[in-house]
Every structure is written in C-alpha cells, then in structure tokens.
Amino acid sequence: MTAPAPAPTYKIGNEKLIKILPNASDRLLGLLKKQGRAEHGALRIAVVGGGCSGLQYKMDLVDGPAHRDIMVISSDVRVVIDPKSALFVSGSELDYSDDLQSGGFKVKNPNAVVTCSCGESFAA
C-alpha cells in the first residue's frame, strides 16, 4: 500500500489576484519552454522595498510554488505570489511590449497610488 500524497502547501487563487494578458503569456510561455520549465515552471511575482516610489516588482522564473504561496493560472501561465506581495498586487494585470524604449513586462496595478516616471516602482 502506498502512502497518500502530501497535501499541497500552497493555495490556489484566481485572476482576481493577477491576470496575465496575451502578449505577456506568449513571452512567458516561450521563456519557460526555453528554460525547460514548460511543464511545471511558473512566474514568481514579488513586491519588495526599493525604487523611487518605495516598492518595486521582482519577477523570476521558478520551478513551481513554494510553501504558503498563492498560485494563479492565467492564460496558461502559472503565477506564484507570496501572501504579503498578494496584498499589493490584487487586481493587477501583467502585459508585455516589444517597444524599444519602454518595452518589457509591465504591471498595471489598481492599488498603486503613486508611480514613478520609469514605471518600475510604486507606492500603495
């Protein structure tokens, strides 16, 4: 007889927490595939202190959720967020642009009351 599988140590969230828009999804799925993480990999979004406005986003590709994370599947992309960061990003959308000067991943965050001119940091 085999032992029962351990219960997951993370929670499942939905797109009310974060929504991945099509351009960001395409780019992220390509990056995950390139790194060999297409099956189980995820985008980790964290909010950390720093930047001109006090808070900034940190994004990394990871192997999957960690203990206590919230995992959201949006546009076929797994996104993992720690509970503290989830308070700051709730209702956000992640987009991607190939624009030469202001391209890259951008978070549209309804909780940000102040953003800096570079768009990389915010205050909530």
Q: How many CB atoms lie within 10 A of CB 103?
A: 10
Q: What is the pLDDT of residue 123?
A: 67
The Cα–Cα gap between 15 and 99 comes to: 26
The Cα–Cα gap between 54 and 4 comes to: 45
For 107-118, write each residue's pLDDT tens digit.
999 988 776 655
Q: What is the pLDDT of residue 29?
A: 97
- Rounded to the nearest integer, the mean pLDDT of the chain is 88
Helix (H) / strand (E) containing 88: helix 83-89
Inform me whether the pLDDT recorded for 122 exceeds 70.
Answer: no
SS3 (DSSP) at 56: strand
Total residues belonging to the chain: 124
For 66-82, write each residue's pLDDT tens digit.
999 999 999 999 999 99
For 28-70, write each residue's pLDDT tens digit.
999 999 999 999 999 999 999 887 778 899 999 999 999 999 9
The Cα–Cα gap between 38 and 34 comes to: 8
Q: CB-hemisphere CA count at 13 Å for 28? A: 29
Which residues have C-beta within 8 Å of that of residue 88, sequence separation ≥ 6?
A: 47, 55, 109, 111, 124
